[in-house]
Amino acid sequence: MKEQIKKSLLTLCLFIFMAGITVGSGYYKKSVSSERGSFIIALPAKKDNQEVLLNIAEQGLPKKLIQPNRISISSGHGGGIINRGNESLWVKVQTEGFLGKVQLESKDPSFNHETGVFSRPLKPNQSFNLAVNLTIPKGKLKGHTVTEGNIKLINSKDESLIGNIPVRIINSETDGIEDSTKNNDTNEACH
Binding to other proteins (CB under 8 A) within 93-112 occurs at 105, 107-109
Residue 139 interacts with other proteins (CB under 8 A)? no
Q: Is 32 in the site for other proteins (CB under 8 A)?
A: yes
User: Shortest Cβ distance from residue 181 to other proteins (Å)?
Assistant: 20
How far is residue 117 CA from its own chain's centroid?
A: 19
SS3 content of the chain, % helix, strand, coil (to 5): 25, 35, 40
Rank residues 40 and 161 by Cβ distance to other proteins and give the closer one.
40
Triad 153, 71, 76: Cα angle to 5°: 55
**Does residue 22 interact with other proteins by CB under 8 A?**
yes
Residues making up the chain, counted from first to last: 191
Cβ-contact 130, 105 below 8 angstroms: yes
Residues 35-94 that bind other proteins (CB under 8 A): 35-36, 59-63, 66-67, 70-72, 77-78
DSSP 35-53: GSEE--EEES-SSPPPPEE
Backbone angles phi, psi at 121, to 5 degrees: -75, 150
Indicate the residue among 178 and 187 with the shorter CB distance to other proteins.
Answer: 187
Cβ-based nearer residue to other proteins, 50 or 110: 110
Q: Which residue number, 127 or 181, has a Cβ lying nearer to other proteins?
A: 127
Min CB(161)–other proteins separation in Å:
26
Of 6, 28, 119, 173, which lies in the binding site for other proteins, with binding defined by CB under 8 A?
Answer: 28
Residues 23, 51, 87, 183: which binds other proteins (CB under 8 A)?
A: 23
The separation between the first and the last C-alpha atoms of the chain, rounded to the nearest angstrom, is 75
Q: Are 70 and 141 in contact (CB under 8 A)?
A: no
Torsion from C-alpha of 82, 85, 90, 96, nearest 10 degrees: -60
Instruction: Verify binding: residue 17, other proteins, rule CB under 8 A.
Output: yes
Binding residues vs other proteins (CB under 8 A): 10-12, 14-23, 25-30, 32-33, 35-36, 59-63, 66-67, 70-72, 77-78, 105, 107-109, 131, 133
